[in-house]
């Protein structure tokens, strides 16, 4: 059995530590965040930290790394107050991952990949055309994680777009396997989702 103590972790090579710690907590969501700068430049970037915070009101949160260096997504969200969340699916994983490359803020990642921007219902942030599940979100608040200088951004879902009826079940549940949504393993591994089982609401067993 492999075992790493905190002391071992502190002494690891940086890349080895990044790969280990980013993958040891399990599979993560795989999404593209779309924003637009005040200069009209569209930005799209891969994020693996988006998580559900509540359904009433419909809230999500995600983590941003320390803003000690320029973060185009963060700046655009703070300037405009809105952004989109677009599920990464199996056919776009290469282009989706490429959005993690660091381009100057005047360069749109849409121009460096085959991803296409699309605007829906006058929402000012760009959606990713062809994404099977898309959300239009409005920024609400941010909280500093003092232990490492990251930020938790809390936002409200204002629009939900689902590409076809086959993805959504009669009770509202979305079948992410049907949507082709993928997950992220660590920093750079993309995995296909396979639904094993769906269970009814769990209630205490009667003795």
Give the pLDDT confidence of 135-145 residue by residue, as tens digits: 999 999 999 99
Domains, the chain, with CATH or none: 28-192 (2.30.110.10)
Phi, psi of 107 (to 5 degrees): -105, 125
For position 105, what pLDDT does the model report?
A: 87
Q: Rg of the Cα trace of the chain?
A: 18
Per-residue pLDDT averaged across 156-185, rounded?
Answer: 96
Per-residue pLDDT averaged across 148-174, rounded?
Answer: 95
Percent residues over pLDDT 90 in the chain: 91
Reading across the β-sheet that carries 51-55, which strands appear in turn? 42-47, 31-36, 82-87, 133-145, 150-162, 58-64, 51-55
For position 4, what pLDDT does the model report?
A: 94
């Amino acid at each position: 059995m492999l075992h790493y103590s905190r002391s071992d972790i502190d002494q690891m090579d940086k890349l080895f530590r990044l790969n280990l710690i980013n993958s040891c907590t399990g599979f993560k969501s795989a999404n593209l965040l779309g924003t637009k700068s005040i200069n009209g430049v569209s930005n799209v970037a891969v994020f693996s930290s988006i998580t559900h915070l509540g359904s009433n009101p419909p809230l999500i949160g995600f983590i941003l790394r320390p803003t000690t260096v320029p973060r185009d997504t963060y700046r655009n969200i703070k300037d405009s107050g809105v952004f989109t969340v677009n599920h990464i699916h199996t056919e776009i994983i290469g282009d989706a991952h490429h959005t993690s490359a660091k381009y100057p803020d005047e360069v749109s990642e849409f121009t460096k990949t085959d991803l296409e921007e699309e605007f829906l219902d006058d929402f000012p942030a760009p959606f990713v055309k062809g994404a099977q599940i898309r959300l239009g979100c409005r920024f609400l608040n941010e909280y500093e994680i003092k232990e490492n200088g990251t930020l938790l951004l809390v936002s409200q879902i204002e629009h939900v777009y689902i590409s076809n009826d086959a993805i959504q079940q009669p009770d509202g549940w979305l079948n992410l396997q049907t949507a082709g949504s993928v997950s992220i393993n660590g920093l750079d591994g993309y995995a296909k989702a396979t639904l094993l089982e769906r269970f009814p609401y769990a209630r205490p067993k009667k003795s």
